[in-house]
A = this chain, B = another copy of it.
Amino acid sequence: MIRVQREDFDVGAEMAALSEGNPRVGAVVSFVGVVREMVEGASGEPAITALTLEHYPGMTERQLAEIEAEARARWPLEACLVVHRYGRLEPGDRIVLVVTASAHRQAALEACSFLIDWLKTKAPFWKREETAAGAKWVAARDGDDSAAERWDKTDEK
């Protein structure tokens, strides 16, 4: 299940909903991305005062659905949820939620890790950071590509 929305989400409620009534679920894993106040690895730079997430309505939902289908094909998941916010967010705000539920912990953990890695390189979202010094578009990180690439190895799972 995927959702792209402006509103915040309730992590505990979403996790409970994914396992409720399914006697096969033994492990539920969640990842929550949060807006940090600090610029990536730059101690001298000004603090982030806000973040605006732009997305490509239509393609975003489509790409997230494909990423979810890929995770379900690779791991025996009982349930799977990706919620990604757009619009203006402030430090401390939640940006993204990934939840995976499986009979076994390894499947839930690996699938959650896979989903957030793939989402970071394939889902059309763009961050614009505001600081006291002005606003700028966030540049993509090489680390995100390599994190996603490790799932390309056919023997990964």
Contacts and interface: CB of A to CB of B under 8 A. Distances in A.
Contacts of A16: 11
Given A11-B12, A109-B113, A34 B27 contact: yes
A20 B28 CA distance: 22
A49 to B, nearest CB: 11
Interface residues of A, number: 37
| A interface SS class | mixed
Contacts of A37: 23-24
A29 B26 contact: no
A102 to B, nearest CB: 10
Contacts of A108: 31
B26 A33 contact: yes
